[in-house]
Amino acid sequence: MQTRSRLGRAEGAPGVIERFRAVDLIHLAGLGALAVLSLLASSQSAGTLWLVALDISLFAAVAGLALGPFARFGPRRTAASRMIMSVIIIPIAFTELAAIIPALNPLRYDEQLHDFDWTVLRFDPATSLAFLHHPVLSEVFSTAYFSFYLLPITLFGVLYRRRMYGPIAAANTTIILGFYLSYLGNGLVPAASPFRSTFFEAALPGLWLHEPLHGLVDTHEVHELSAFPSGHILVAAIVVILAAHWRLRQTPLFLLWGLLLWLGTLYLGYHYLIDTLVALPLAPLCIWAGFRISRRFDGSMPA
């Protein structure tokens, strides 16, 4: 005999669509869009054609997670498997944009973003924060910036340890929305970070970690047109708001981590101020949308 959940959905043997979680559907939409864009970009650059196959493979992996034997996992393994899937997909999608955006959008907005900071906001990271330059601060901010991906993973770990599986699903959905929204902004407003342009001429002092970490970003971050909006600040703000919403005792840690990231992006020249300011209101928007999607497609409420 079938019963009904509080979402009004018949419990028992779920249909094909009902096996997908909210985060699965967002990944499928994002990967589908990337595959189409990669196909369009292949007319300009043959090197992007293989990305279509990569996106289709990831698309199949997400579908397999929802429809295959993993679908019979309990809430504990379901939460862990989807967290791992997101951790794999997001860096790959970010890297793909390095080939897609230049092929499809030749415009560049570095100068406009710099002028907006300087003319409207009266702030230029290259000069406004020069009085703060110090080797110790360079170490702190470089470490904070480089640890960005650990921020949402740490939130997942805290929720997982507390067995808050409904909130884990909602957090995963919301944070993934934030990443994809920042990627959409990258495509619509392509712009390189200030430190990659002539607008940032400061030679920052460091001790041990600053120079190698900065060098890793400079040489291995192939997607250089990722300044607007700041995905770092968008995701960090989402994490802080979610931690406060669920009254986690680690909220002060997440807040301090987020503040260090925000100041570090400006101090190190990785973002214009306008990049970070635009990202802030996008965070509650992603949370609102993420919670609504979770309530619609997931079996538990994001309490």
pLDDT by residue (tens digit) across 47-100?
677 889 999 999 999 998 888 766 666 777 788 888 999 999 999 999 999 989
As a whole number of angstroms, the distance between CA 42 and CA 45 comes to 5
Q: Which residues pair with 187 in a beta bridge?
A: none
- Helix, strand or coil, per DSSP, at residue 10: strand
The whole-model pTM stands at: 0.89
Alpha-carbon separation of residue 91 from 97, 222, 245 (angstroms): 10, 11, 27
The residues spanned by each domain of the chain are 17-297
- Which spans in 163-247 are helix H? 165-188, 210-220, 231-245
Instruction: Give the tens place of pLDDT for each residue, 135-187.
Output: 888 788 888 888 898 999 999 999 999 988 889 999 999 999 999 999 999 99
Residue 276: its pLDDT value, please?
95
DSSP conformation class of 4: B
Query: What would the mean pLDDT of 121-132 be, rounded to a whole number?
Result: 81
Residue 1: its pLDDT value, please?
39
Q: Which of residues 302 and 158 earns the better pLDDT score? A: 158
